[in-house]
Chains A and B, each alone.
Chain A
Amino acid sequence: MTIDEIVRQTLREWSGDARVPADLADRALGRRRRAVKRAFAVVAGATAGVVAVFVVPGMRERVAQPIETLEHDRTVTVQTDPGSGREVLADPDGGPPEKLVAAYDRAVYAYHIRKEKQVAEGAKVVQWTWFVYDTEAGTYKKAPWAMLDVAPGGETVAVLEELPARRVGVVATRGGPVRWIDLERPAAWVSWSPDGRRLLVTNYDWNPLLFVTIPPEGGTTTAQSIRTGFTVVDVEGGRAAFHEVGWTGRSLDRGKSFRWSADGTMVWEWRLDYSDGKVFYDLEGNVLPIPEKERNGSFQEAGLSPSGRWLADDPAALAVTDTETGRTVPLPRAVAGHRIMQLLAWADDDHLIAWACELKGSDCAGGGFRNRLVVISRDGMSLTPLTGFRADSRKPGSWEPLVGHRRPS
């Protein structure tokens, strides 16, 4: 039994010790009546409060000072060839983008829009509608696939036609015939290897994006979502080998699918119930000791930089740690009118792609979920917007980028 199962079981048993007071409704209604009286009292004293703000300025919240940079205002190039160059290509008014978004060694070759569909009483399925960058059209075009990943270089896509799927397809980003490779077990997630020659497919018996609400306790959980393992596909040879690595937890998200290690020799998964937070496997599904540099405790998606020297870190606030010296430098709280919220990917060893909100005083304008993609320098002192803002990244209809490599490693 793992620690998260023990926690789950303990919480369920412990909650049974709660005693229900007999007069809760009376107390709630009584408290409400008192609250109405208190509200009148607060309004009556409001004038005194306004005066106090001016008399005691030291009590006011300190406002963060944005750091202006040259890069913020610079003109960004727009070009349509995704395979070459390291230029910063932005569509700073586009949300979702219409023109190609790229920075240094990474590019947003695709994005998806999340929608929820009620499929039965108490059950909903999350559907991702994909848009893939078409080099000929010079814009992102809607794709008919349920799940996909774009190969390094941006010219080829691996696709699943439904969730779960019995086969994985490989097709050019501009369309054309699909080459299908049959899978031993159904799958719901696919990822290209860093060299663009193999696919890592995560196998599930059920659609992991199907959620049900379970009465009477309420709450949302995935229904019968059972991950069975992973399949490594040799694309050129058309060979697929399944390896059983089960997981039967209930709440499922991207974290439960497998990812390639940076050098493509191992795969790993997030496991918050393990002390290191990650578990690594060889390509046969055997558990490996966690590489020393990965034993870092960071939960930022960006992880280690391409050379392995720099770590996108989050010890308390967002930071970058030099793994050679162990020195951690926090990112500034404000830069070029933005606050950096999440470190998504390393664009190269000197730059990070991140989510950032727009600062209004010391707060995010429109809340912390109104955010845009930006590229920042490693020290966080310069920032270039890459896309327009998502109105609210929590809500259905919001878009999520797929950040790929501009060329195979």
Chain B
Amino acid sequence: MDAAEERRFRDFVSARSPALMRLAYLLTGGDQHAAEDLLQSALARTATRWRTVEEPEAYVRRAMYRQQVSWWRRRRETTFAEPPERGEDDATSGVELRIVMRRALSRLTSRQRSVLVLRYYEDLPEAEVAAILGCSVGTVRSTTHRSLARLRTLAPELREPHVIFGEAKA
């Protein structure tokens, strides 16, 4: 990488790191340090191919998806069985629900959370998620479904979400 290429790389990182960091943060379940590691690793991989990468942002995003996939394949994942802590007041506010949701999302397995991030944050079609994860569209559907079911278990407040959010917004 010569000086001009390095400058372009630094400009790219400077301009796009907020959006890329948001994605890394979600993929790692809200772990700031793990997110920094994930993005740094993907950027390092991008830097090695900087001359040939045509769409750097798409490349970095894909590198993060793939890295997350390879991480969850290499390690045995742990799920948390205990229900989330409940406040004493049953009239859950919007703020409390958001906290409960974040806690529930962070307790999903890496694979479950990544599928939800790819489907609902990145808005990727099922076929593209299947291609990234190296599985069938049917598996993407079943993982999405089971991840949402798991969220309902971890956050019982979600069972009647329309009521809760209606009150929160009023």
Chain A residues packing against B (C-beta within 8 Å):
1-4, 6-8, 10-21, 24-25, 27-29, 31-32, 35, 211, 214, 216-221, 250-253, 255, 270, 272-273, 275, 277, 297-301, 314, 341-343, 355, 368-369, 394
Q: Which of B48, B120, B131 lies in contact with A7, CB distance below 8 A?
A: B120
Instruction: Enumerate B1-43 residues with CB–CB distance to A below 8 Å.
Output: 1, 6, 9-10, 13-14, 17-19, 21-26, 30, 32, 35-36, 39-41, 43
Which chain A residues lie closer than 8 Å to B39 at the CB level? 24
Verify A11–B152 contact, CB threshold 8 A.
no
Instruction: Encode contact with A along B54-91: 1 for CB under 8 Å, 0 otherwise.
Output: 00011001000000000000000000000000000000
Q: Tell me, rounded to whole Å, the shortest Cβ–Cβ distance linking A250 to chain B.
A: 6
Q: Tell me, rounded to whole Å, the shortest Cβ–Cβ distance linking B89 to chain A.
A: 20
Q: A6-B161, A7-B120, A220-B123 are in contact. Are A15 and B44 (CB under 8 A)?
A: no
Instruction: Encode contact with A along B106-129: 1 for CB under 8 Å, 0 otherwise.
Output: 000000000011011111111110
Q: Which of A3, A28, A253 lies in contact with B125, CB distance below 8 A?
A: A253
Q: Tell me, rounded to whole Å, the shortest Cβ–Cβ distance linking A328 to chain B.
A: 14
Which chain A residues lie closer than 8 Å to B18 at the CB level? 18, 20
Q: A28-B43, A250-B123, A255-B141 are in contact. Are A10 and B98 (CB under 8 A)?
A: yes
Verify A272–B145 contact, CB threshold 8 A.
yes
Q: A7-B151, A270-B141 are in contact. Are A27 and B40 (CB under 8 A)?
A: yes
Which chain A residues lie closer than 8 Å to B101 at the CB level? 6-7, 10
Verify B124–A11 contact, CB threshold 8 A.
no
Instruction: Enumerate B112-158 residues with CB–CB distance to A below 8 Å.
Output: 116-117, 119-128, 130-131, 134-139, 141-142, 144-145, 148-149, 151-152, 158
Interface of B: prevailing SS: helix
27 contacting pairs across A/B (C-beta < 8 A): A2-B161, A2-B162, A7-B148, A11-B105, A12-B121, A14-B105, A15-B25, A18-B22, A21-B36, A32-B47, A35-B48, A217-B19, A218-B19, A218-B58, A218-B61, A220-B124, A220-B125, A272-B144, A275-B152, A277-B145, A299-B138, A299-B139, A299-B145, A342-B136, A368-B135, A394-B130, A394-B131
Q: Tell me, rounded to whole Å, the shortest Cβ–Cβ distance linking B114 to chain A.
A: 12
Verify B138–A314 contact, CB threshold 8 A.
yes
Q: A4-B120, A8-B120, A314-B142 are in contact. Are A28 and B128 (CB under 8 A)?
A: no
Verify B131–A32 contact, CB threshold 8 A.
no
CA separation between A3 and B120, bound complex, in Å?
A: 11
Q: Which of A12, A275, A300, A394 lies in contact with B149, CB distance below 8 A?
A: A275
Verify A15–B165 contact, CB threshold 8 A.
no
Which chain A residues lie closer than 8 Å to B131 at the CB level? 369, 394
Number of A-B contacts (CB under 8 A): 167
Q: Which of A18, A24, A394 lies in contact with B25, CB distance below 8 A?
A: A18
Which chain A residues lie closer than 8 Å to B1 at the CB level? 29
Q: Which residue of A lies closest to B16 (CB)?
A: A216
Q: Tell me, rounded to whole Å, the shortest Cβ–Cβ distance linking B57 to chain A.
A: 6
Chain B residues packing against A (C-beta within 8 Å):
1, 6, 9-10, 13-14, 17-19, 21-26, 30, 32, 35-36, 39-41, 43-44, 46-48, 57-58, 61, 97-98, 101-102, 105, 116-117, 119-128, 130-131, 134-139, 141-142, 144-145, 148-149, 151-152, 158, 161-162, 165-166
Which chain A residues lie closer than 8 Å to B124 at the CB level? 219-220, 251
CA separation between A130 and B126, bound complex, in Å?
A: 22
Of the candidates A8, A214, A217, A252, the one having the most CB atoms from chain B within 10 angstroms of its own CB is: A217
Verify B44–A35 contact, CB threshold 8 A.
yes
Which chain B residues lie closer than 8 Å to A252 at the CB level? 125
Verify B47–A15 contact, CB threshold 8 A.
no
Q: Which residue of B lies closest to A34 (CB)?
A: B44
Q: Which of A35, A273, A299 lies in contact with B142, CB distance below 8 A?
A: A299
CA separation between A31 and B124, bound complex, in Å?
A: 30
Which chain A residues lie closer than 8 Å to B137 at the CB level? 342
Other contacts beyond A15-B22, A217-B122: 19, CB < 8 A = A1-B161, A8-B121, A10-B101, A11-B105, A14-B105, A18-B22, A19-B21, A20-B21, A28-B13, A32-B44, A32-B48, A218-B122, A219-B122, A220-B124, A252-B125, A272-B145, A273-B148, A299-B145, A394-B127
Q: Tell me, rounded to whole Å, the shortest Cβ–Cβ distance linking A73 to chain B.
A: 27
Which chain A residues lie closer than 8 Å to B117 at the CB level? 11
Q: Which of B21, B40, B126 lies in contact with A28, CB distance below 8 A?
A: B40
Verify B43–A3 contact, CB threshold 8 A.
no
Q: Which residue of B lies closest to A29 (CB)?
A: B47
Which chain A residues lie closer than 8 Å to B35 at the CB level? 18
Q: A14-B105, A31-B44 are in contact. Are A220 and B165 (CB under 8 A)?
A: no
Verify B120–A220 contact, CB threshold 8 A.
no
CA separation between A15 and B121, bound complex, in Å?
A: 9
Which chain B residues lie closer than 8 Å to A369 at the CB level? 131
Q: Tell me, rounded to whole Å, the shortest Cβ–Cβ distance linking B109 to chain A.
A: 14
Q: Tell me, rounded to whole Å, the shortest Cβ–Cβ distance linking A225 to chain B.
A: 11
Verify B10–A25 contact, CB threshold 8 A.
yes
Verify A10–B105 contact, CB threshold 8 A.
yes
